[in-house]
Amino acid sequence: MAEPLYELRGVHVDYRTPTGVVPAVSDVSFDVPADGITVLAGPSGSGKSTLLRVLGLVDRHTAGTVRLQGRDVGGLGHRARRQTRRDRIAVVFQAPPDNLIGHLTVAQNLRASAQSAGRADADPDILDWLGIPGTGSWRVAALSGGQQQRLAFGCALAREPDVVLADEPTSQLDAASAALVLDVLGRLADSGVAVVAASHDPDLVAIGTRVVRLREGRVQGEAA
């Protein structure tokens, strides 16, 4: 078996609140393969978004070990974490507008995303690939929610990352738009990029090549 992209061992994440420390994730251990779609599934509050933030080097875990491509990222400083995010990780947030820069056009969003990873520009065919050809000069607001979310994945692809982390990517879309997004996700995985998605959308869980089921912050089960 190829080396996993992520290795999580005994990971704990606690949140400090005014009423005390609240454990969000407890003793979680699993691997994320370097290809395919890994789905973190579970009901609200199960810790899947928290884990996704830990994988995206957004939040720090309280205990345990997280390895990215064999490197322990727990002890990395701010600068090294930024560098890692810039070079290897792409994040797609839940709300489509949160993934795009509103005052830029569609093409400019793709270029901005590519530039953020040190690339000059995005692949010119990417809009065709996303199924929104001819929209390069459009303002983001002119796109529908589904189109915006597909563009968000396009932006992620333009960064040529090792992994795309998507938090509930279909939760704010209607069924038709969600289906198009899932199609993009599938093709993204087919292109060799690892995809990790947190979701309780059965359709998304269904296309997952590996599903990690979470409940109350603990791994309930894994399926490949």
Partner 1 sequence: MQLPWRAAPRAAVSGPLTVLVAFVAALLLSFVGAAAVLHADSAGSAAVGYQAGRLCPQTVPPVIDGNKVTVADANRILALARDSGRANGFPTLVGAVYSPVRQWDFNGPHPWSQFAYRDGARDNLKVLSGGGQDGLWVPKSIADDAGIKLGDRGLNGTLPPVTAIYADIAEPVPDYWCSEQQRVVPNPLATEGATAAPIWFPSLREFTEHMDSLSDNAAAVSARFPVERLPATTEEAAALVDRGKRMLDGVVGTLRAEEKARFVIAANYFAKPVEVARAASDTVWSAVLPLTVISLLVGLAGVGAVTVQWFQRRHAELRLLWARGAGPVALGWRAVLELALPLLVGAGAGLAAARLALPWYAPSSDLTDGTGALASAVAGGVFVAALVVVGAVAATRAHRAFQTGAARRSARAWRLVPWELITAVLAYLAWARRESTPTKLAFGQPLPETADAVGLAFPLLVVLTVALVTVRLARWGLRAAHRVRLWRVPAAQLALRRLAAAAGSVVGILLVGTLAVGTLTVGVGVADAQRAALDTKSGLFVGAESAALIPTRVGVSGQLPPALAAHSTLVGVLKTGQNINLVIDPATFTRSAWLGDRDPADTQAQLDVLGGTGGPVPALRVGRTPEATTTLPRLGQVKPVEQVGSFPLIGTGQGYVVSRAAVRDLKQVDVWQIWSNQPLDTLIRDLDAAGIHHLQSRSRDKALDGLPFLTVTWTFDFVTALGVVLAVVAAAALVLAVEVRRRQNALAGALATRMGLRQRTLVASHLTELGGLAGVSVAAGSAAGVVCAAVSAPLLDPSPWLRPVAGAPDLLPLVSTTTGVAAVVVALVCWTAVRSVTTARVGELIRG
Shortest Cβ distance from residue 45 to partner 1 (Å)?
A: 19
**106-111, Cβ contacts within 8 angstroms, sequence gap of 24 or more:** 106/132, 106/135, 106/136, 106/137, 106/138, 106/139, 106/140, 106/143, 106/151, 107/136, 107/137, 109/140, 109/151, 109/155, 110/151, 110/154, 110/155, 110/158, 111/158
Shortest Cβ distance from residue 206 to partner 1 (Å)?
A: 27
CB neighbourhood size of 45 (10 A): 13
* Residue closer to partner 1 (CB basis): 34 or 112: 112
How far apart CA 32 and CA 53 sit, in angstroms, is 14
* Residue closer to partner 1 (CB basis): 65 or 115: 115
Shortest Cβ distance from residue 104 to partner 1 (Å)?
A: 6
Shortest Cβ distance from residue 90 to partner 1 (Å)?
A: 8
Helix (H, G, I), strand (E, B) or coil at 123: coil
Helix (H, G, I), strand (E, B) or coil at 92: strand
Shortest Cβ distance from residue 116 to partner 1 (Å)?
A: 4
* Residue closer to partner 1 (CB basis): 66 or 155: 155
* Residue closer to partner 1 (CB basis): 9 or 139: 139
Q: Which residues lie closer than 8 Å to 117 by C-beta, 6 or more apart? A: 86, 87, 158, 159, 160, 161
Shortest Cβ distance from residue 163 to partner 1 (Å)?
A: 13
Backbone phi, psi, residue 61, to 5°: -80, 155
CB neighbourhood size of 72 (10 A): 11
Compute CA 218 distance to the chain's CA centroid, rounded to the nearest angstrom: 20
* Residue closer to partner 1 (CB basis): 164 or 188: 164
* Residue closer to partner 1 (CB basis): 99 or 177: 99
List residues binding partner 1 (CB under 8 A).
56, 58, 78-79, 82-83, 85-87, 90-91, 93, 95, 97-104, 108, 111-113, 115-117, 159
